[in-house]
Amino acid sequence: MANWKLRRAEPQDASALACCFDAAYRPDSLWSGMAIAPTEKNYTLVIALYHVWVAVDQGQVIGGLVLIPKEDYMLLANIAVRPEHQGKGVGQALLELADAEALDQGYQEIRLRTNKAMIDNLDMYRRSGWTEMQNGEPEGHNISMRKLLR
């Protein structure tokens, strides 16, 4: 049974959320040799402006989700789980929450961009119903994905 829970992020979560994202992306950055960690560092502002959730275990932020409403779709701007908590269903729960929140906000589509080097994440997205988008623009190290919601 999971001891963690999901809740809306609060301003006091900003520092812990930044540390969580940094810890989650660091192994992939080291492995790939590319800087793939998010560049946003002002999570107080992110929490104030967007739809942000955290996964919390014993008072510690172990995962996070940032959703940004766009005109025609919800953007999954960031999702991450601390390495020591990966493989426990936290990421899947955050993805399901993203779907539910997008639907609650009236969206039928959710999108994201991720780095091609993040193989495990790509597999998880595909298993969760995400498909790659072909938009004709060079993606470099990134892949754009979308999921149609019902």
Q: Where are the domains of the chain?
A: 5-148
Tell me, what's the pLDDT at 101? 97
Answer whether 85's CB lies under 8 Å from 4's CB: yes
Please tell me the pTM assigned to this model.
Answer: 0.86
Please name the residues in contact with 76: beta carbons below 8 A apart, sequence gap of 6 or more. Answer: 65, 66, 67, 98, 110, 111, 112
The C-alpha angle 106, 109, 113, rounded to 5 degrees, equals: 130
Q: pLDDT of 65-74, one tens digit each?
A: 999 999 999 9
Domain boundaries 5-148, corresponding CATH code: 3.40.630.30
Ranges in the chain, pLDDT < 50: 1, 29-39
